[in-house]
Amino acid sequence: WGCYAVKSLSVFFPLLVLYAAAGRVFPLSKALLVNLIGLVICESIPYGIGRLSGTSLAAKLREKYPKLLALETLHQRGSLILTCHLLCRSLYFGAVRLPYFPYLMGSLTGLLPMMVADTLLGKGIGGAMSPELLAAWGISVLIAAASLLFCRNVLKKTWNHKEQPNEN
């Protein structure tokens, strides 16, 4: 779990390595639990840093990454679909005081399918072209494609909604 804490402060270390390592080392049920707790740690630390940093950090992040406003708009509409992977997402949501539980549930909802697939990938690493390995790669590709399409459509609707003039 210490590795997850370190990962939470880095954008360069891939979660895939941690997921697969747990899948390789532990029985599947324990590996999934280890990875789930690791994800909670990984999502909570930057959120907490953002929360402690306050709204000045949010303003700086909005200035540097203007598209973060689209995610804030989704939050203001009451949506939990805030799981698109953007740089500084966790810091930002903490800084704008998004309630922790909806933030965490939205993040886990977005991350769990890939975590399960990559944990299975760790299980299948030992055998080239094993059914576990092939299933994990297939699931990963499908999830990645679906996530990209879904996030693109949600954010496109949000940006288009903001750009349309108010007809009132």
pLDDT tens, residue by residue, 19-75? 989 998 999 899 999 999 999 998 898 888 878 877 777 777 777 767 666 656 555
Place of tokens 């949600």: 154
pLDDT reported for residue 88: 55
More confident residue, 69 or 145: 145
pLDDT reported for residue 35: 95
Confidence tier at 90 by pLDDT (50, 70, 90):
confident
Asked which of 44-53, 71-80, 147-156 is least confident by mean pLDDT, the reply is 71-80
Confidence tier at 79 by pLDDT (50, 70, 90):
very low
* DSSP 8-state symbol, 54: -
* DSSP 8-state symbol, 166: P
Decide: 71 and 96 in contact? Cβ < 8 Å.
no
Mean pLDDT rounded to a whole number for the chain: 74
- Is pLDDT at 76 greater than 70 in this prediction? no
Give the percent of the chain with pLDDT over 70: 66
How does DSSP assign 114-164, residue by residue?
A: HHHHHHHHHHHTTSTT-HHHHHHHHHHHHHHHHHHHHHHHHHHHHHHHHHS
- Is pLDDT at 135 greater than 50 in this prediction? yes
Decide: 58 and 96 in contact? Cβ < 8 Å.
yes
Judged by phi (left if over 0) then psi (alpha if -120 to 50, else beta), residue 129 lies in left
Q: 0.75 cut: is pTM over it?
A: no
**What span, in angstroms and rounded, lies between the C-alpha atoms of 37 and 42?**
9
Confidence tier at 14 by pLDDT (50, 70, 90):
confident
